[in-house]
């Protein structure tokens, strides 16, 4: 009994460590048909009046309205390493990722400095979604499905990136910051 319990605990620890590894070679998506999902994205950027709040305040306001799992903040290094975005392209950003590697929920509000870089930022977000999908593909099926339903939305110079089972509610809260600034 003790041997089987010890073996089970050891196996669980090995799986948890493997899932939490940050080896870029294993976290890079392999080219396949499932690596390019059909994201929910706005066809063309709209030009609403921009909110006076910072990206951090926008994300905080969204999270006040819609409950999400515990998050950690992503810094400039994480923007480059995890999100494949040169931080110099961004005027402001706030990115929240899961505190523990058992959820796929992510929220990113990015303010792009120059409109010419908008496509590059959106492409990088699609790559991030593919990375998260690859990470959870054979790990937690419900979280893999959640990651496949990511949202990218553009409002003026802002880009919203969401992975959440409450994406519609979070997007509505994000939109509210632009509606309120009219």
- Higher pLDDT, residue 119 or 10: 119
The answer to whether the beta carbons of residues 111 and 92 sit under 8 Å apart is: yes
Tell me the percentage of the chain whose pLDDT exceeds 90.
68
Domain count for the chain:
1
With respect to residue 27, please indicate whether it lies within any of the assigned structural domains.
Answer: no
CA distance 117 to 124: 11
CA distance 94 to 75: 8
Report the pLDDT value the prediction gives residue 84, as an integer from 0 to 100. Answer: 96
Average pLDDT of the chain? 81
Give the DSSP letter of residue 102: T
With respect to residue 110, please indicate whether it lies within any of the assigned structural domains.
Answer: yes
User: What are the pLDDT digits (tens) for 26-36?
Assistant: 343 443 334 44
**pTM for this structure?**
0.73
With respect to residue 29, please indicate whether it lies within any of the assigned structural domains.
Answer: no
Closest CA to 110 of 130, 143, 132, 86: 86
């Amino acid at each position: 009994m003790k041997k089987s319990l010890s073996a089970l605990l050891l196996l669980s620890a090995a799986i948890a460590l493997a899932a939490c590894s940050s080896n870029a070679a294993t976290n890079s998506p392999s080219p396949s048909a499932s690596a390019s999902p059909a994201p929910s994205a706005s066809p063309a950027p709209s030009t609403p009046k921009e909110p006076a709040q910072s990206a951090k305040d926008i994300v905080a306001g969204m999270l006040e309205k819609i409950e999400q799992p515990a998050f950690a903040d992503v810094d400039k290094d994480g923007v480059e390493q995890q999100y494949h975005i040169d931080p110099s392209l961004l005027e402001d950003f706030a990115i929240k990722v899961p505190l523990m590697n058992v959820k796929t929920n992510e929220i990113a509000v990015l303010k792009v400095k120059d409109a010419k870089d908008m496509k590059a930022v959106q492409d990088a977000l699609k790559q991030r979604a593919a990375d998260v999908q690859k990470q959870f593909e054979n790990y937690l099926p419900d979280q893999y499905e959640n990651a496949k339903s990511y949202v990218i939305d553009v409002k003026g110079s802002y880009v919203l990136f969401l992975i959440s089972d409450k994406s519609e509610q979070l997007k509505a809260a994000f939109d509210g910051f632009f509606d309120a600034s009219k």
